[in-house]
Amino acid sequence: MPRTILSEACIHPAIREQVANNHRDIVDEVRAAVLAHDVVVVGMAQNPAPKRARKTLDEAGVKYTYLEYGSYLGQWRRRNALKLWTGWPTFPMVFVRGVLLGGANDIKKAIDTGEIKALLAAERTT
């Protein structure tokens, strides 16, 4: 499933570095967490969906690392870099063993079906 993104050849050379480094720090921080931990939840304050995902994981006894970036009015530009990087439009972003699983509803489904156990037992993809 190739995701359509603008080819580097279609970005003027004078701005390529700016595009590549736009809020790179937040992407690098999340990438490092995803590599270091089996389950990572990326969320934001005041949003009920990340809270719901964390509660679901807590109730299932699944350990996770939580990263929180701002709220509705704060740090939204930085969070956009994560949306562009993953292609996932909302928060939370839940990663399991290096794979973006989706959001709160997706993690609930994975727990309910037992898929989370299989994913945690599988070999890492990253």
Of the listed ranges 1-10, 18-27, 43-52, 77-86, the one predicted with least confidence = 1-10
Domains and their CATH numbers in the chain: 11-121 (3.40.30.10)
Q: pLDDT tens, 74-120?
A: 999 999 999 999 999 999 999 999 999 999 999 999 999 999 999 99
With 0-12 / 13-18 / 19 or more C-beta atoms within 10 angstroms meaning exposed / middle / buried, residue 109 is middle
DSSP code string of 40-97: EEEE-TT-HHHHHHHHHHHHHT---EEEE---SSSSHHHHHHHHHHH---SS-EEEET
Q: Rounded to whole angstroms, how far apart are CA atoms 36 and 53?
A: 20
